[in-house]
Structure 1
Amino acid sequence: MTENAVPHARTEVVRHSPAARSIREVVFGVNDGLVSITGLVVGVTASNMSSHQILIAAIAAVVAATVAMALGQYLATVAQNEYFLAERSREMREVHEVPHEEIAEVEGIYKAQGFTQEQVEMLTKHITSDKDRWVDFMMKEELGIMLESMDHPWRSALIMAGAVILGSLPPVLPYVIIANPHTALIWAMALAVTTAFGLGVLKAVVGKTSWLKGGAQFLLVTAIAIAVGIFAGHGLADLLA
């Protein structure tokens, strides 16, 4: 490296695009809707309810799950955003109250990134000449937080709600079009298993990991939900007999 060359600053911060964050919410919501509603329809079918009763129970569960997950996502997003803003306020306060310590931290960050002493002094002077830029730098490099990565709470909640509904469709639709609950159950489990595997593959593709491993992981979770549903359904039938 030449004396005048300024290397690109390196950071461990990962820049998440809105699309990437939406994929996270969609996968989480679809999986939750799929697993919870599959377990429910398997359970109530095993308890010998009629197809009409099963459909009513499933729709009620979908509504409850959608509202709960959406509100949970809203509150989680609000809490995260409040934390980010609180950390920025703290950094701004430290910049005003203990500037020498903050300058030393900026210098330490640049030194750790391989800059020469001359470059460190030049870059530190540039960063600390504007307090907003200074604070944003400390947020990113010291805390790994970028304010532009904050999500809109209601947007996140709506994405989550749509994902839960989408995940709930495979185990519910057979009961809408098939009168025999046991035949509907076979189709519900087949659709749930297929959807779970596909969701795992999607997660693996996004995360650039093994598609087979990703599909198997989601498949296992759904299989557990089916097994628990069968066990609970038979237990409920015996209890109410």
Structure 2
Amino acid sequence: MSERLFISRIKQSLAASYGEVVFGMSDGTVSILGLVLGVAAGADSADAVVLAGATGAIAASVSMMAGCFMEIESERDEEEEENQERIAAINKNPEGAVSDLMGLLQNSGLSQQTINFIHADISKNPATISGLEIAIAASQKTIGQKTSPVIHSIWMFLSDLFAGLTPVIPFVLFPMHTAWIICIVVTAVLLLLLGIGRARISNRSPVRTVAETMGIALAAALAGVIVGMLLS
């Protein structure tokens, strides 16, 4: 595999997993920020913050990866079961299935000649109706829905881990008091970008989505600090 082809596939998989990347980073940032600031509020050294934060980030990333994989697998298993049920229903009542399909085609804008041709062909083998429905459903799927669950879960793991380690890294590089400030600033910038990403996915107002993202993170941070101070 050439380097250019490899990079192209990476870009395609990233584009297909855009939702998982944004969601994973949002989850990792919010959850680990609260954990890091809570430990920092009650710890005497940065070592405890780094240990707790890094452990939490890795554990959360693995959990999110597994959850993402199982969710997509469950959705596809459910879809396959629905397809099998539809095939069974057509086999049980082929005339009714043909009649239903013709009723839909009458309002589709096709000419009566074309509808009659389809009716004659379908009537010979009603089982082809299920294949037609599955093919139409497959054509309506996005690239992300066609991508392997493994790819989605890997991007979920990487994005969650990256975002989870972001609040931790300042405590590795700087003294406690300085790390506090850098941690909050860097995380706030990341949350701003994530809010914009969430707005793009959901077609919502960027201002509102950023405010919601910041508000959730602030609540998690305050909860972590309060618990850390009380337990210390």
Q: TM-score range by the shorter chain?
A: 0.7 to 0.9
Q: CA deviation at 1:45?
A: 0.7
Q: What SS class does the counterpart of residue 209 from structure 1 fall into?
A: coil
Q: 1:209 aligns with which of 204, 207, 221?
A: 204
Q: CA deviation at 1:60?
A: 0.6
Q: CA deviation at 1:123?
A: 4.3
The reply on whether 1:167 has 2:163 as its aligned counterpart is yes
Aligned CA RMSD, in angstroms, stands at 3.0
Which residue does the alignment assign to 2:41?
Answer: 46
Check the 8 A contact 1:32/1:164 in 2, yes or no: yes
Give TM-score, length-normalised by structure 1: 0.78
Percent sequence identity is: 23
Which residue does the alignment assign to 1:186?
Answer: 181
Structure 1's unaligned 5+ residue stretches are: 1-16
Q: CA deviation at 1:66?
A: 0.9
Q: CA deviation at 1:117?
A: 5.6
Could you say if the C-alpha distance between residues 123 and 200 of structure 1 is closer, same or farther in structure 2, counting changes exceeding 3 Å? farther
Query: What amino acid maps onto 2:32 in structure 1?
Result: I
Aligned residues: 220
Q: CA deviation at 1:113?
A: 4.1
Q: CA deviation at 1:193?
A: 1.5
Which residue does the alignment assign to 1:5?
Answer: none
Could you say if the C-alpha distance between residues 88 and 187 of structure 1 is closer, same or farther in structure 2, counting changes exceeding 3 Å? same
State the alpha-carbon separation in 1 of the partners of residues 129 and 187 from structure 2. 51
State the alpha-carbon separation in 1 of the partners of residues 43 and 154 from structure 2. 35
Q: What SS class does the counterpart of residue 166 from structure 2 fall into?
A: helix
Check the 8 A contact 1:109/1:141 in 2, yes or no: no
Q: Which moved more, 1:92-101 or 1:144-153?
A: 144-153
Which residue does the alignment assign to 2:190?
Answer: 195
Q: CA deviation at 1:146?
A: 5.3
Check the 8 A contact 1:27/1:199 in 2, yes or no: yes
Q: More helix per residue: 1 or 2? A: 2
Query: What amino acid maps onto 2:156 in structure 1?
Result: M
Q: 2:104 aligns with which of 86, 109, 129?
A: 109
Aligned ranges for residues 146-165 of structure 1 at < 5 Å? Answer: 149-165=145-161
State the alpha-carbon separation in 1 of the partners of residues 188 and 91 from structure 2. 57
Q: CA deviation at 1:69?
A: 0.6
Q: Which moved more, 1:186-195 or 1:24-33?
A: 186-195
State the alpha-carbon separation in 2 of the partners of residues 228 and 188 from structure 1. 16
Which residue does the alignment assign to 1:75?
Answer: 70
Q: What SS class does the counterpart of residue 171 from structure 1 fall into?
A: coil
State the alpha-carbon separation in 1 of the partners of residues 99 and 227 from structure 2. 61
Could you say if the C-alpha distance between residues 19 and 161 of structure 1 is closer, same or farther in structure 2, counting changes exceeding 3 Å? closer
